[in-house]
Structure 1
Amino acid sequence: MFTITDTLICLISAVAFVNLLRMATPGQPGDWSGQQIRNPLMRNIYYRMIEDQRHREDTHSYWYEFDVSALPEDLREKFIGFHQDLETTQFLESCYEKADWIFTQLRHSLLRYILSWFMTSTSINGWLKRGSMFIFSRSQLDALLDIPTGWHWQAENMLDLGAGDGMVTSQLARYFDNVYATEISEIMVKRLQERGYRVLGISEWSDGTRVYDIISCLNLLDRCDRPISILHSIRQSLRRGSGRAIVAVVLPFKPYVEFGSTDHQPTECLHIEGKTFEEQTVSLIRHVFTPAGFTVEKFSKLPYLCEGDINKSFFVLYDAVFVLRPTDV
């Protein structure tokens, strides 16, 4: 059995090993093969640092690739293509840095294993203050909302549904006098309140007492029990004439309900057809947003990035991001 001293020696050795790799040949974490490293922890760190170096030298153009020719003509002009900009690169750099915090990452791994017996993944991340997300940079958001560079645009109310720790919310918050959010996880609610956002109850945000200039629904439709009902509530809660919704959906679409479902399947199903990203994007527009009373103004494809762990600096999924307005406006 390992003693506390043995564990500390192992951890200190891991940190020393990481520092040794950093001082290795420029452009490569080391000159030896990872298979020669017997310790599993150190071997994982070695492979992760190799992968980080590869990502640092990559502009990830494939994250943004979208076959516009596969779209119907009426949708082609609404698509906006993006690339990895400075703000996205800075988020990735912070992920690489945090992955190198060996003691912190090992403590998180241990606590995550223990807490997983009685807490959801979302709540664990909130408690550990880890797993922050990144969807769009400020310049990408401005392009989606058609806000000219340098123009001071300000509105009254915004609402972020399922806001998590509020990091993505903060990209929108700068434009609004009042920032509202919803979140089921009690721990994430505390994180949002720490940022100064007002958290509304699940049935409170759509009770008709206030209207919103922007409602963001980011990566929620595939994680909630009643996505169709949420879309209808969004439509009814937007400011008439000027209100817009920003909706992001991970594709390929794979619904999984973390709260309020015993089998993790939603009560309301979104019937999204197609195998490719482009086909499912069109299906979302035709079979989900249009029947819910929305018209797409703009849309794009963006990487949905999440802070990683000791083995992987970040995780990436692919988002279809839409700006919607109620059809009757």
Structure 2
Amino acid sequence: MSITLQISVSLIFTYPVLLLDHWYTCTKPDVYSYYTKDYGQICRRHGYTELNESDLDISVTNSYEDEDMASNSGLNGLYRPRSALARALYEKQQNDRHLQEFDQNEWYRVDKSRLSPELQEKFVQLEPDHETKEFLSSSIDKSSWVWTQIWYLLAKAVLKHFWTITDINGWLGRGSMFVLSAEQARTLLGAAKRGSNNAGSVVDIGAGDGEVSRRFAHLYTNKYATEISGCMRKALSSKGFTILDTEDWWREQRFDCVCMLNLLDRCAKPRSMLQQAKAAIAPDGVLLLALVLPYKPYVEVTSDHKPEERLPIQGVNFEEQVASFVQIMRDEIGFELAAWSRAPYLCEGDFAQAYYWLDDSVYVFTPSRT
């Protein structure tokens, strides 16, 4: 009995460290942390790496090629904690320090010299407001919960053999995202002269756990959502969303605002989804759309993880890809640009750092009248 108990206790405290050691040496989070206009990776030697194409979740292997990254101590290799847990905590401290020093206003800036007169006129300058900073502060706090993060690692190591990453995050209640605060959404819709005045209905397509749209969905009277993950649908219902069928949501009802927030690069048929959205928008309604740039589609549910329909977005920098996407929406899909901005697609962090982000382009479109 005592031997069994000793073994059990040993496993409880040893396995997480072994798992962490495996994670630390073999799997670093792949997340784009863009910061310059030409998409240079930010602070590669301090642990900011590329996005795993499957999702924003912290889950993918990545081998570092930079010699500085091998030590990653910030002290030219003179200090390197020996245990996996100590190394992880030390490097997290280093990464979080660089996050604190980073100018968050960079998330919202564009190079206007690269924009056409139309895009310059319809650009809405946003900035990190109180709600954005609250999300970041909460992410910093959660990433410091050591045993909670170890629990996430343990649960994920087991559940990934049975569930998708989306379902795992839904069940664990982790990995929440942030794009627009209520005030930022109000500003963008106002610039498009499409304020909700607390009336009408909004539907979020592929809503996940609803955290992204929850922040501004209250601008509308009725909240709807679609989502294929059962775990996420439960989370949406708990937040007051009415769940609609993922195939037929657009056929009968009309909405004052259709939200497609970071969906087009994750769905198999983005063109079809946009046509459905166009059919579902009420008179004087809008499409509120967010798209991560550069455009790198990845579909979780297809065997080769490639979309069946691909948007031919061109360009080597953020501004060029925005221009290309707006032209596709106008010429091929039938949407006119009313307003747009740039904002970070934020994600709660983990052992590596407090939070991650991608470059998001955010648009308000209206169906073409012709």
TM-score by length of structure 2 reads 0.78
> SS of the counterpart of 2:152?
helix
1:166 and 2:210 matched: yes
1:233 and 2:276 matched: yes
- Give runs of aligned pairs for residues 1-329 of structure 1, distance below 5 A: 4-5=9-10, 7-8=12-13, 35-146=79-190, 153-208=197-252, 210-240=253-283, 242-259=284-301, 261-328=302-369
Q: Verify the 8 A CA contact 2:329 2:336 in the aligned structure 1.
A: no
The answer for unaligned runs of 5 or more in structure 2 is 1-5, 18-72
Equivalent residue pairs, number: 307
Q: Verify the 8 A CA contact 2:95 2:352 in the aligned structure 1.
A: no
Aligned CA distance change for structure 1 residues 128 and 177 (closer, same or farther; 3 Å) = same
> SS of the counterpart of 1:322?
strand
Q: CA deviation at 1:2?
A: 7.2
Identity percentage over the alignment?
37
Q: CA deviation at 1:298?
A: 0.6
Q: CA deviation at 1:7?
A: 4.5
Q: Verify the 8 A CA contact 1:34 1:47 in the aligned structure 2.
A: no
Q: CA deviation at 1:74?
A: 1.9
> SS of the counterpart of 1:303?
strand
Q: Verify the 8 A CA contact 2:191 2:339 in the aligned structure 1.
A: no
TM-score by length of structure 1 reads 0.87
The one-letter code matched in structure 2 to 1:89 is K
Q: CA deviation at 1:54?
A: 3.1
Q: CA deviation at 1:127?
A: 0.7
Q: CA deviation at 1:290?
A: 3.7
Q: CA deviation at 1:5?
A: 4.0
Q: CA deviation at 1:152?
A: 8.4
Q: Distance in 2 between matches of 1:57 and 1:320?
A: 24
Q: CA deviation at 1:10?
A: 9.6
Q: CA deviation at 1:75?
A: 1.7
Q: CA RMSD in A?
A: 2.5
The one-letter code matched in structure 1 to 2:154 is L
Kindly report structure 1 stretches of 4+ aligned residues shifted beyond 4 Å. Answer: 9-12, 30-34
CA deviation vs aligned residue, 1:10-60 (integer Å, no higher than 9, x gap): 989xxxxxxxxxxxxxxxxx9998833111221111121222233234332
> SS of the counterpart of 1:306?
strand
The answer for unaligned runs of 5 or more in structure 1 is 13-29
The one-letter code matched in structure 2 to 1:309 is D
